[in-house]
Chains A and B, each alone.
Chain A
Amino acid sequence: MSDRRWTYARRSSQVACLAIFLWLFLQTEYRGIDELPYPVSLLFRLDPLAALADFLAPGPFGWALLWPALLVLLLTALFGRFFCGWVCPLGTTLDGCGRLVGRGRRPFSPGWRRVKYSLLVLLIGAALFGVQLLGLFDPLAIFLRSLTLALYPAYNLALNGLFDFFYQQPVPLLSPLVNDAYPLFRDHLMAFYQPVFTLGLFTLLVFLGIVLLEKVEQRFWCKNLCPLGALLGLCSRYALVQRTPQTLCADCRQCDSLCRSGAVRDGRHRRSECLLCMDCVGFCPEERVRFGLRPGGNGPGVDLSRRGLLTAFASGVILAPAVRIGPVTAEQNPYLLRPPGAVAEAEFLQRCVRCAECMKVCIGRALHPAFLDAGPVGLWTPLLVPRIGYCEYNCTLCGQVCPTGAIERLDLPRKQKAVIGLAVFDKNRCLPFAKSTECLVCEEHCPTGEKAIVFEEREVLVDGELRRLKFPRVVDRLCIGCGICETVCPLEGASAIRVINEGESRRPRPLAAGDGYG
């Protein structure tokens, strides 16, 4: 069929997959049921890079969560990089945005193709030696992170601004209409609270950067930089789906200039670069191009030299200890708090693929992406920032969505015992201590059945007058560091009670040495 039917089929698949992922994204929220009813993190359970991160992290492989990713690898081995052309939501976004920003057709040096393989090998090398940075470059993580931290908040800001305007300015006819539509939007199409994230703008700039690369060359990211594309390319070298003709035809050569993935090079079609977009079936003037199942065939390999491969791997191996030269961040930064159920920090950094699912789902708006707070390799990992939001006592959502087990899935009784940190008073600012006035808002909100914040009544001399006051105190044994006290502290600016990571459940206890004695 030398028509555009394949192209339409591919486009439909792209749109459908994008729609499914966007719908799952909207479902990544508490909607009255404690257990999320849909596999909202499906995107990452399909993600071979997430599987790779999990595989390289300590502990057994998470088969239960990540088997779909292995299925994707298997299907890629059989059919080639269909994922990139037909499924990947970042690829679809780039194809869609390309029309908006304008597509560059600058012939870019083919040497750039190698960058993605080098990057993948480098990342694997680093991960083997304990520094996992796959998530930073994982296209699916980039997609969901941009959506969660930047695009969705911006969308909500815009809509909220619109609804606020018509609420405050009664425009005849229009205002009642818009006001009536508000509940529907608020309950189904918008976030319950306006999402606010610490790295929103930075994440947006990275995303825009990748989109703008379309101006340089169509699918620049996918062709040259994407490590997932590289991994799938490696798997598809012996794919059964093959294109005929396998070489450029002497009388035409259109494939050379029109192919979006630049799969035809040096006159030959490369399965490892082909995204199976099927455009060439449509544009071939002679209607020669066919894709069909054909085992075997000796296509050209991935153009990565042994030297390049070794250099990349060695760089990764060197990078791993290099970025860990400094002191352990968790011990330096007492405010480095992780979600409940997070595994020990070293393993956490190896498992977390920075997908931002936990930040999206967090009902208390407590989780925010780290910049350098968690050390040089902790970029975009989730931090609990209690002044912005707290960990809801009866909620287990972040553990439910984490695709790689960086946040363990805890049942409610275990989660309510998981210690995130310890609340500590700043008596220089806390009202009863500093200003001799009543407060106890922290005690009121403390959620543990037997409160972890208690109070003692004492008489104090204020301006020569005895006053009876209630002084709050934290009971270390009961505090789980949920941070609601820090969120609700009525002082302006910094809270007078702050959660530090002392005593967190996940911290490995040193068996000996390093305690300062002997």
Chain B
Amino acid sequence: MKTFDRRSLIRTTLQAAVVTAATGGLPVLDLLAMPAAAAELPPLAVRQGKEVDRLVRETIAALGGMGRFVKSGETVVVKPNIGWDRTVEQAANTHPQVVATLAELCLEAGAAKVKIFDRTCNDPRRCYTQSGVREAIERLDDRRVSLEHMDRRAYREMAIKGGKAFQNWEFYLPAIEADRYINVPIAKHHSISELTLAMKNTMGVIGGNRGRMHSEIAESLADINSVIHSDLTVIDATRILLANGPQGGRLEDVRTLDTLIASPDIVAADAYAATLFGLKPEQVPTIVAGARRGLGVMDLSRVRMV
């Protein structure tokens, strides 16, 4: 990890502040959004199917297969949302089969190690079990795949270059150090950020007092996602939670969509997922902040549907 002395930290921070102020002051000419616009259109795969295992395989195949994202011998983090002590039907956690099949696909692509973890909101032991993820991973019975509890010692405070809400935060080292990071949220209602999707799911690999982020949730999420880069985003919309999120608990708030969204572009994936809730991407501040900060494309006419 790169270390900062005080002088360079102050310098970087000031530079970041100047850039931020400059870009914020020029709403028409959004400098940070330009590189993304200039790049080739990001692919986005959306598939439907009742059988989860096949659905995952089809969706990833549409993007060109897991081999596009994971190379032989790499360490991959698959980061589901298993933050709540809820069952599969209650739609608060990523579907366990989505997680398990993605882990299998990583192994098939040659991954040396697949690590799965989440900093949960309820007790982690209960969440891992109740979500069904523990059982699904145990069923894989492969020593290369591990569902791990967070190691309280492995958080490091790191600088967020160009951070708007925060200039530094604690991040979970195994997520930082992994060769690949696959972001696997479930699509849910959330009262402070409208929806909780892939960008919000990154909160599961940071330390600190996460509640503090709620005061400026959109910029905070853009901040942490500028540090944790998701190589692949897979949004589980096999069933979505429409109200009382993110923890849910009532089956009447759940709608089955049998849908999976995948893209190497986290903002595009989130933008598409927003439409499942009848929202336009620009109605979700997190997505807007992500696009403006150059994390991806929110204009769905500028993605390549595959």
Size class of the B contact interface (CB-based, 8 Å): 20 to 34
Q: Indicate whether A441 reaches chain B with its CB closer than 8 angstroms.
A: yes
Q: Does A447 contact B (CB under 8 A)?
A: yes
Q: Would you call B142 an interface residue if the criterion is a C-beta within 8 Å of the partner chain's C-beta atoms?
A: no
A363 touches B192 (CB 8 A): no
Complex partner residue of B244 from A186, A431, A450, CB under 8 angstroms: A450
Counting from the closest, the 9 A-B pairs by CB-CB distance are A490-B211, A449-B249, A441-B211, A449-B250, A437-B215, A440-B192, A32-B129, A490-B212, A439-B214
B247 interface residue per 8 A CB criterion: yes
B123 within 8 A of A: yes
Residues of A with C-beta under 8 A to B123: 30, 363-364, 392, 395
Complexed CA–CA distance, A100 and B235 (Å): 61
A444 vs B192: C-alpha distance in the bound complex, in angstroms?
Answer: 8
**A443 part of interface (Cβ distance < 8 Å):** yes
* Chain B, range 196-230, C-beta contacts under 8 Å to A: 209-212, 214-217
Query: What 13 additional pairs, Cβ within 8 angstroms, besides A394-B130, A450-B244, A490-B212?
Result: A30-B123, A31-B125, A393-B85, A393-B122, A395-B123, A437-B215, A437-B216, A440-B191, A441-B211, A444-B190, A446-B247, A447-B85, A450-B250
Chain A stretch 373-394: residues in CB contact (< 8 A) with chain B: 392-394
- Note all chain A residues with C-beta closer than 8 A to B126: 30, 363, 392, 394-395
Known: A168-B153, A450-B244, A490-B211. A363 touches B191 (CB 8 A): no
Among B10-41, those with CB < 8 Å from A are: none
Most buried by A among B125, B153, B214, B246: B214
Q: Is the CB of A447 within 8 A of B211?
A: no
Is B281 an interface residue when CB atoms closer than 8 A count as contact? no
A394 to B248: give the CA distance in the assembly, Å.
13
Nearest-Cβ distance from residue A128 to partner chain B, whole angstroms: 41
| Contact between chains at B246 and A444 (CB < 8 Å) | yes
Query: Beyond A392-B126, A394-B126, A443-B191, is A448–B212 a contact (Cβ under 8 Å)?
Result: no
> CB-CB < 8 A to B247: which residues of A?
444-447
Q: Is A67 close to B, CB under 8 A?
A: no
| A287 touches B (CB below 8 Å) | no
The 29 listed contacts between A and B (C-beta, < 8 Å) are A30-B123, A32-B129, A167-B153, A192-B125, A364-B123, A392-B122, A392-B126, A393-B85, A393-B122, A395-B123, A437-B216, A438-B214, A438-B215, A439-B192, A439-B211, A439-B214, A439-B215, A440-B191, A440-B192, A440-B214, A441-B211, A443-B192, A444-B246, A445-B121, A447-B249, A450-B244, A470-B191, A490-B209, A490-B211
Nearest Cβ in chain B — how far from A345, in angstroms? 28
Q: What is the CB-to-nearest-CB distance from B140 to chain A, in angstroms, rounded to a whole number?
A: 17
Residue of B nearest to A435 (CB): B215
Q: Does A451 contact B (CB under 8 A)?
A: yes
Chain A stretch 405-451: residues in CB contact (< 8 A) with chain B: 431, 437-441, 443-451
- Using an 8 Å CB-CB cutoff, how does the interface string of A19-41 with B read, 1 for contact, 0 for none? 00000000000111000000000
A155 within 8 A of B: no
User: Which parts of B175-190 form the interface with A (CB within 8 Å)?
Assistant: 190
| A residues less than 8 Å from B211 (CB atoms) | 439, 441, 488-490
Using CB atoms, name the residue of chain A closest to B86: A394
Let me know if A32 and B134 touch, CB within 8 A: yes
Interface residues of B in 104-130 (CB under 8 A from A): 121-123, 125-126, 129-130
Residues of A within 8 A of B212 (CB): 490
Interface hits, A439-483 → B, CB 8 Å: 439-441, 443-451, 455, 470
By a CB distance below 8 angstroms, the chain B residues around A363 are: 123, 125-126
B window 122-174: CB within 8 A of A: 122-123, 125-126, 129-130, 134, 149, 153
**A447 nearest in chain B by CB position:** B247
Chain A residues, CB < 8 A from B153:
163-164, 167-168
| Contact partners of A186 in chain B: CB under 8 A | 149
Docked Cα-Cα span, A27 to B47, in Å, equals 45
* Contact B214 A449, beta carbon cutoff 8 Å: no
Q: Are A451 and B244 in contact (CB under 8 A)?
A: yes
CB neighbors of B among A166-221 (8 A): 167-168, 186, 192
With A192-B125, A488-B211 known to touch, is A438 a contact of B85 (CB < 8 Å)? no
CA of A192 to CA of B247, assembled, Å? 23
User: Is B192's CB under 8 angstroms from A32's CB?
Assistant: no
Contacts of B214 in A (CB 8 A): 438-441, 444, 490
- A364 to B, closest residue via Cβ: B123
Identify which of B192, B210, B248 contacts A470 (C-beta below 8 A): B192
Q: How far is the CA of A470 from the CA of B125 in the complex (A)?
A: 32
Q: Give Cα distance in the complex from A440 to B212, angstroms.
A: 10
Residues of A within 8 A of B215 (CB): 431, 437-439
State the CA gap A488–B121 with chains docked (Å).
Answer: 9
B123, B192, B250: residue with the most chain A Cβ atoms closer than 10 Å: B123
Task: List the B side residues contacting A431 at CB < 8 Å.
Answer: 215
**Which residues from chain A contact B192 at a C-beta distance below 8 Å?**
438-440, 443-444, 470
Residue of B nearest to A389 (CB): B123
A118 vs chain B, min Cβ distance (A) = 46
CB distance from B220 to the nearest CB of A (A): 11
Q: Please give, as numbers and ranges, the residues of chain A lying within 8 Å of B191 by CB-CB distance.
A: 440, 443-444, 455, 470
Instruction: Give the shortest distance, in Å, between B12 (CB) and chain A (any CB).
Output: 26
Tell me how far the C-beta of B183 lies from the nearest C-beta in chain A, rounded to whole angstroms: 20
In the bound complex, do residue A449 and residue B248 qualify as a contact, i.e. CB atoms below 8 Å apart?
A: yes
Among residues of B, the one whose C-beta sits closest to the C-beta of A394 is: B85
A163 to B121, CA, bound (A): 25
Give the docked Cα–Cα distance between A35 and B250 (Å): 23
Residues of B within 8 A of A448 (CB): 249
Interface residues of A in 117-167 (CB under 8 A from B): 163-164, 167
Which residue of B is nearest A446, CB measured?
B247
Q: How far is the CA of A494 from the CA of B275 in the complex (A)?
A: 40
Q: How far is the CA of A364 from the CA of B121 in the complex (A)?
A: 11
Give the docked Cα–Cα distance between A167 and B190 (Å).
Answer: 37
Interchain CA distance A437-B192 in the complex, whole Å: 11
A95 to chain B, nearest CB (A): 36
A3 to B249 CA separation, bound complex (whole angstroms): 67
A443 to B244, CA, bound (A): 9
A338 → B minimal CB distance (Å): 20
| Interface-centre pick from A31, A186, A392, A490 (highest chain B CB count, 10 A) | A490
CB-based nearest A residue for B214: A439
In the complex, how many angstroms separate the beta carbon of A268 from the nearest chain B beta carbon? 57
A449: which B residues are within 8 A, CB to CB?
Answer: 244, 248-250
- Complex Cα gap A359–B129 (Å): 22
